[in-house]
């Protein structure tokens, strides 16, 4: 089943990330705002990867002196998605 996640970022130039997921695999990512060349590269590299793999690779990446980055925010959005999915499955 294909799902769409819309994640509002904090602490980055990008304001929002739209992620399409099918069977726990990333099928598309679109960043709204931010450094488009770099973010398009991240989107292409993450396409076809399992959610947990993307989280493992991107979680904790910082942008300069900021406490986060666009890749870290992508990982945060995916972690939130997995947490919510787990809560729904428990019900």
Q: Measure the CA–CA gap between 79 and 87, rounded to whole angstroms.
A: 12
At 1, the pLDDT band (50, 70, 90 cuts) reads confident
CATH number at residue 36: 3.30.390
pTM of the model: 0.94
Confidence label for 69 from pLDDT (cuts 50, 70 and 90): very high
**Per-residue model confidence (pLDDT) at position 91:** 62
Q: Which domain holds residue 48?
A: 2-90
Q: What is the DSSP letter of 67?
A: S
Count Cβ atoms within 10 A of the Cβ of residue 87 and give its class: 0-12 exposed, 13-18 middle, 19 or more buried: exposed
The number of distinct structural domains making up the chain is: 1
pLDDT in tens, 11-60: 999 999 999 999 999 999 999 999 999 999 999 999 999 999 999 999 99
Residue 37 CB burial class (10 angstroms; 0-12, 13-18, ≥19): exposed
């Amino acid at each position: 089943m294909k799902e769409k996640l819309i994640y509002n970022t904090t602490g980055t130039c990008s304001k929002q990330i739209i992620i399409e997921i099918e069977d726990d695999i990333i099928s598309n990512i679109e960043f709204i705002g931010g450094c488009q060349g770099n973010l398009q590269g991240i989107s292409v590299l993450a396409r076809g990867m399992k959610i947990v793999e993307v989280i493992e690779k991107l979680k904790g990446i910082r942008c300069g002196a900021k406490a986060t980055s666009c890749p870290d925010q992508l990982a945060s959005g995916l972690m939130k998605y997995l947490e919510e999915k787990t809560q729904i499955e428990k019900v």
